[in-house]
Structure 1
Amino acid sequence: MSHLHIRPKEAGADKRIINITPESANWQFVGFEVVMLEADDTLVVNTQNTELCAVIISGVADVTTQEQLFSNIGHRASAFDGIAPYAVYAPPKQELTINALTSLEVALCRAPAKGLYPVKLITPQDCVTMTRGSGTNLRHIRNIMMDNVDAERLLITEVITPSGHWSSYPPHKHDTDAIPQESALEETYYHKLNPKQGFAFQRVYTDDRSIDETISVEHNSVVTVPKGYHPVGTPHGYELYYLNVMAGPKREWIFHNDPDHAWIVNP
C-alpha cells in the first residue's frame, strides 16, 4: 500500500479514525486528525505548540475554549449538504472542550505557531464559496480559512467534485519556496464519497517521477501530498468531498500548473 495513503481506523477510546502528525507523515508542518463522537460524548483537545482549527464536518456541538463558549454550532447532517461548515480556530496553549450534541464528525487541523491570533469562531458566512472550472472540470469550493481568515500557517478549504468530474486539475503543485512564482506547502486530502461505498482516484507525481503514484481512495481515507502534482478524478455515479489542509514556511497559496497540461486552462 502507498505510504501516501492513510486509511481510517476504528475509533477507539481516543475517538480518532485518522491521526496524522508531522512525524508520521515525515514532514514539518501539517497535523491532521478526524474525530467521531456520539451524542453526549466529550473530547478535550490541547493545542500545545500549534494553532488548531476544528472543522465541524457534520453534526452539532458546543465548543468551549479557555476564553469563550460557542454553543450549538454545526448545521450539516453530511458534508454533501451543499452548505459551508462551522469551525473554531485556537492559538497555541489553549484547551478546547468539544461536547457533541448529536453524532459528530470533527477534523482537527494543526500547524506550528507562535500565538499571534486569538480564538475565533468561523461561521458559514465567513467562508467563501465559489464554483471553479467548466465542463467536467467544474467543482464547488468552500474556503474555510484561506485569505478570508487570519492564521499563522494554516490554509483550509473544502471541495465537492461532482460525479464524473475532475478537480485539483489541471495538475498543479506547490512544493518550491519561490514566492511570488510558487510557494511550498504540505497538504492533506481527507476524502469522503457519496454514496460512501464509492471510490475515486488521486495521482501524486513529481516532474522527475521520483514520486509517481495513483491511489484508489475510499470513504474517510487521506492522501498526503509532501510534494508534486496531485489531481483527483471522480467516477460516474459518485460525488466526492475532500477537506484540504495546507501549511508551510509561509502562509501563501501560490501553485504551479504542470506545463504539459497547462493548455487546458490557457489554450
Structure 2
Amino acid sequence: MADLLVKPAGTRGQTIHVTPQSAGWSHVGFDLYQLAPGEMAQANTNDREVCLVLVSGKARIIVEDVDFNILGERMSPFDGKPHAVYVPAEHDWMVTATTEVTLAVCSAPSTGGNLPPRHIRPEKMEHETRGRGTNVRHVTNILPETAKADSLLVVEVITPGGHTSSYPPHKHDTDNLPAESLLEETYYHRLNPPQGFAFQRVYTDDRSLDETMLIEDGVVTLVPRGYHPCATIHGYDLYYLNVMAGPTRTWKFHNAPEHEWLLKD
C-alpha cells in the first residue's frame, strides 16, 4: 500500500496527482491544480467520469462544445458553497482561471451511463449540520448518491476548531450491502488560518493498518480501508473535500462498536 499522506508538489500547476495505480487501489483518482489568472488546466476523461470542483476562485469551464462560461463565487473554501461541473467519460474539458483558482479534479471509473455534462450549482447542493457539541461539523453534498453519476460520490465538510469529524470512527471497506459498502476515499485538507494543523488516524480492527497523520494545509490523505476520524486544534477550522468510489455507488458505513455509545442520547 502507498503512503497514506500525499503532500503537494510545489505551489503552481498540478500540485497533487493521485491515481488508482499510485494509491494501490481500483477506483478513486484525485488531482489538484493551482492556477494564476489566465492559466489553464485541461484533459480528456478517457474511460473515467470526472467532477471538477472550484475549491476557490473563478474560471471559465468548457466541456467539449458546452461552454459553461465563468463560474465560481467564493475565494476561500471556508466561504459558502462551491461551483462544480460533472464531466462524463470520453470528453475533453478545459478550465481557464480568471482569478487565482484552486481546482479539484475528482475521478472514478465510468460504467457507461451516458450522462451529459452539467453544471452543479451551489444552490442545488444540500447543506446539513451533523453531530453535537464538539462533534458538530458542516456538510455540503456536491455529488451525493441521490444525484446522477456512474461511480463518484463527492462531498465537502467544514469542522470548527477544536472539533472532531468523521467521528465516531466509521468505516466502509466491506462489500456487505445493505449493511456496509466498499468505498475508497481521499481527503483534501485545508486549514483556516493556514498555519494551523489537525490529525487524522486510519486504522483497522485488527490494527494491521494503524497510521496517525499530521494534517497541514493542502495535504491529501488516502483511506483504502478502516476507520478514519479527524480532529482539528482549537482556533483552526478544518475543511476537507472527500472523493469516494467503489463497486456500488452507495455510502453505507459501519461504526466502530466500542465508540457507538457516543451516538446515544
TM more than 0.5: yes
Match of 1:75 among 51, 73, 76: 73
> 1:90 and 2:87 equivalent?
yes
Question: Letter of the aligned partner of 1:207 in structure 2?
Answer: D
Alignment partner, residue 10 of structure 2: 10
Q: Residues 140-167 of structure 1, C-alpha deviation per residue, up to 9 Å, x if partnerless? A: 0000001342101100000000010001
Q: Map 1:53-202 to 2 at 5 A.
A: 53-81=51-79, 83-116=80-113, 117-202=115-200
State the SS of the aligned residue for 2:27: coil
Are the equivalent residues in 1 in contact too, given 2:49–2:89 (CA < 8 A)?
A: yes
Are the equivalent residues in 2 in contact too, given 1:127–1:148 (CA < 8 A)?
A: no
What TM-score, normalized by structure 1, do the two folds share?
A: 0.96
Alignment partner, residue 45 of structure 1: 43
Are the equivalent residues in 2 in contact too, given 1:138–1:161 (CA < 8 A)?
A: yes
> 1:30 and 2:28 equivalent?
yes
State the SS of the aligned residue for 1:260: helix
Of the structure 1 ranges 21-30 and 62-71, higher mean CA displacement relative to structure 2 is found in: 62-71
Alignment partner, residue 247 of structure 1: 245
State the SS of the aligned residue for 2:57: strand
Are the equivalent residues in 2 in contact too, given 1:52–1:110 (CA < 8 A)?
A: yes
Are the equivalent residues in 2 in contact too, given 1:188–1:246 (CA < 8 A)?
A: yes
Mapped to 1, the partners of 2:264 and 2:189 lie a distance apart of 29
State the SS of the aligned residue for 1:163: coil
Are the equivalent residues in 1 in contact too, given 2:145–2:249 (CA < 8 A)?
A: no
Mapped to 2, the partners of 1:148 and 1:238 lie a distance apart of 32
Provide the identity percentage: 50
Give the superposed CA RMSD. Answer: 1.1
Alignment partner, residue 236 of structure 1: 234
What TM-score, normalized by structure 2, do the two folds share?
A: 0.97
> 1:263 and 2:261 equivalent?
yes
Are the equivalent residues in 2 in contact too, given 1:188–1:222 (CA < 8 A)?
A: yes
State the SS of the aligned residue for 2:128: strand
Are the equivalent residues in 1 in contact too, given 2:111–2:151 (CA < 8 A)?
A: no
State the SS of the aligned residue for 1:125: helix
Question: Letter of the aligned partner of 2:221 in structure 1?
Answer: V
Mapped to 2, the partners of 1:42 and 1:225 lie a distance apart of 30
What is the Cα deviation at residue 66 of structure 1?
A: 1.0
What is the Cα deviation at residue 11 of structure 1?
A: 4.3
What is the Cα deviation at residue 45 of structure 1?
A: 1.6
What is the Cα deviation at residue 114 of structure 1?
A: 3.2
State the SS of the aligned residue for 2:21: helix
What is the Cα deviation at residue 118 of structure 1?
A: 1.3
Consecutive aligned runs of 4 or more in structure 1 exceeding 4 Å deviation: none
Question: Letter of the aligned partner of 1:113 in structure 2?
Answer: S
Question: Letter of the aligned partner of 2:102 in structure 1?
Answer: E
State the SS of the aligned residue for 2:145: coil
Q: Residues 149-198 of structure 1, C-alpha deviation per residue, up to 9 Å, x if partnerless? A: 21011000000000100010000000000110000000000000011111
